Each structure stands twice: as structure tokens, then as C-alpha cells.
Amino acid sequence: MSLTVNMELWIPITIAAAFMQNLRFMLQKHLKSTRLSTGGATFSRFIFASPLAAILFVVLITARPNQVPGVDARFFVFAITGAISQILATLCVVALFAERNFTVGITFKKTETVQTAMIGFVVLGEAVSPLGFVAILIGLVGVVLLSDPPKSSSRSGWKARLFNRASGLGLGSGALFGVSAIGYRGASLALLGGDFLIRAAATLAFVTLFQTILMAMFLAKREPGQITAVLKSWRLTGLVGLTGMLGSFGWFAAFTLQNAAYVKTLGQIELVFTFIASYFFFKERNSKRELAGIGLVIASILALVILL
């Protein structure tokens, strides 16, 4: 497959992944508000996705046995780092849904693009252009507006806007998803051989198995009964696993084909799906301040897209 084809292919794959991810978060928000804890709603993301990912990998390597990739230690370091970061990030997002509405929660999460650029500068020494810095500042102003606490809060002023539970969860999820994206791209590229679909499926199968085991151990010790609750709600939690697996496979495939920062930037299209879901399914309405904040975050994203 030529480089030109690969550069084009990651675009529809990323859009599909963003759509599936939005569906998954919709289901998790519903589960969190009706029947499961934050940990249980997060676990539902992995328990059903793991066997589906394994089946996908087996099907692919059966069809193309000569494409089975080799593995070295770097793969496990990158994959485990990405897996743990994704678990923590998902916990933050699900918990955030109890603090703010669906659109604001997802927009907070979408600061991951800006934060990935900042992490890349600090960790990898990747320079940010003056125009890129302006785009980051626009996004930060939007985040400040979004982090304004609910009207019922007794706190007020800029400190309350910056230092509250919702902003902490939102910004934390963005940073962790950024680390996760870098980890998954590194893991896919660390595999020795195999086409991009095989490498994406192999990474996904290992990561979801690791995450399932880790989350099951945590819930068994800290939240007894939640594993049973997840299994009893299999009709909904199974859909969470399916959409999560399809979304993750799309992200992993895109990461294998393209720079993670580019993929995450295009992935901001999820905000469009989020607005639709928030308005029509959750019947949520945003305040003028929240709409202004969301608009600034989107403007920051568009500025980064133009600069990339």
C-alpha cells in the first residue's frame, strides 16, 4: 500500500472512531446515571471489548498468517502505559458526567489535543510555532469559561472557575488521553512486521485484556458487586463493549498510519456528534457561557487543524 493511500485512509478511519467513541460515552453516561458506579461504567468498556478484540485479531491473522508481527519489550512498555492512562482518563470522564452535562464533559475531554501538543513540547522537545501558541491560548480561555461551576455552587470568582472538581476531572482526562494516544501509537509502531490492520488488532487485543484484568481486580477489592451489576446489564454494557472495541480499533489503526497529534486533531469532530446527542437524546441545554467556551475550544481546534 502506498504512502499516499495510507495518508488518505486514516481520515475516514478517524471519523468513524470518533463516532463510535461518542456512542460509547452516551451509553456510559446513561449507565452511570441509572445503575452503575463510575468504576462499573468504566469496566463495561473493557469486559466485553476484550473477547471481541481477541476474535478480531484471530480472524485477521488466520486470513493473513504471513502478516503476524514480532514483539519486543518496547511494545509492552508503550501498551501498558497507554492502557493505564486510558483507564484513568475514562474514570475521569465518567465521573465528570455527574458534575456537568454531556456536551461540556466531552468538550473538557477534547482539550486532549491542546494538552498533547504541550506534553510533546515538554517530553519530546517538539517546538510550538507562535501561531500554535495563540491557538493553545484560545483553547485555554475556552476551558476557563467551561470550568465555571454550576449556579448552585456557593463559590464564585476566577479561583472557583479554575479550581473545581469538574475542571480537574476534565483537564485530567484530556492529559491522560493524550498520554494514552502516544502510548498506543508507540506500541503499534514497536511491533515487528505486519500491516497496519494486524498491528492495530494485536495492540488492541493485548491492551483490552490487560485493562479487563486490572479493572476486575480493582472492582473486586474496592467495589464488590459492581462486576455482577455490569454482567446483569449485559444488553447495555455489551453495546458499550462493542462500540468501545470498534472505536478503539479505529483509533489504533489511525495511530499506526499517522502521527497521533494529527489523528487527535481530526478526532475533534466528535464534538459535532456530541452536540447532537446532548440536544436530542439527553435533552440538555447549554448556558451562554458554556456555549462561548465550547466555541473557543472549537476555534482553537480549527486553528490547530489549519496549522498542521
What tens digit of pLDDT does each residue of 57-82 get? Answer: 999 999 988 888 888 899 999 999 99
CB-based contact 75:191 (threshold 8 Å): yes
Examine the pLDDT at 274 and tell me if it is beyond 80: no
- CA–CA separation, 181 vs 271, rounded Å? 18
Q: Which of 84, 83, 86, 101 is nearest to 32 (CA)?
A: 101
What three-state secondary structure class fits 126? coil
* Residues 176-208: tens digit of each pLDDT: 988 898 888 889 888 988 888 999 999 999 999
Report the 10 Å Cβ neighbour count for 212: 21
Angle at which helices 3-34 and 73-96 cross, to 10°: 40
Structural contact between residues 155 and 164, judged by C-beta atoms closer than 8 angstroms: yes
Cα 80–Cα 7–Cα 64 angle in degrees, nearest 5: 65
Average pLDDT of span 45-54 = 91
pLDDT tens digits, residue range 77-132?
A: 999 999 999 889 888 877 777 666 656 666 667 677 777 667 666 655 655 567 76
Would you list the domain boundaries of the chain?
A: 3-126+156-285
Mind spelling out the 3-state secondary structure of 167-234? HHHHHHHHHHHHHHHHHHHHHHHHCECCCHHHHHHHHHHHHHHHHHHHHHHHHHHHCCCHHHHHHHCH
Please give the C-alpha separations between residue 106 and each of 14, 71, 95, 130, 279, in angstroms, as whole numbers: 17, 35, 12, 27, 13
The cell for 307 is 496549522
Q: How far apart are CA 285 and CA 57, in angstroms?
A: 42
Determine the 3-state secondary structure of 37 from DSSP: coil
Residues near 131 by Cβ (< 8 Å), separated by ≥ 6?
Answer: 303, 307
pTM above threshold 0.85: no
Question: Which of 108, 70, 85 minimizes the C-alpha distance to 211?
Answer: 85
Question: For all residues of the chain together, what is the average pLDDT?
Answer: 79
Residue of 179, 199, 9 whose CA lies nearest to 90: 179
**Nearest Cα to Cα of residue 116 among 188, 171, 77, 191:** 171
Convert the pLDDT of each residue in 123-167 to its tens digit: 556 555 677 667 667 766 776 666 555 554 445 555 555 556 766
pLDDT in tens, 8-32: 688 889 889 989 988 888 888 788 7
Give the DSSP H/E element, type plus range, for residue 60.
helix 49-63
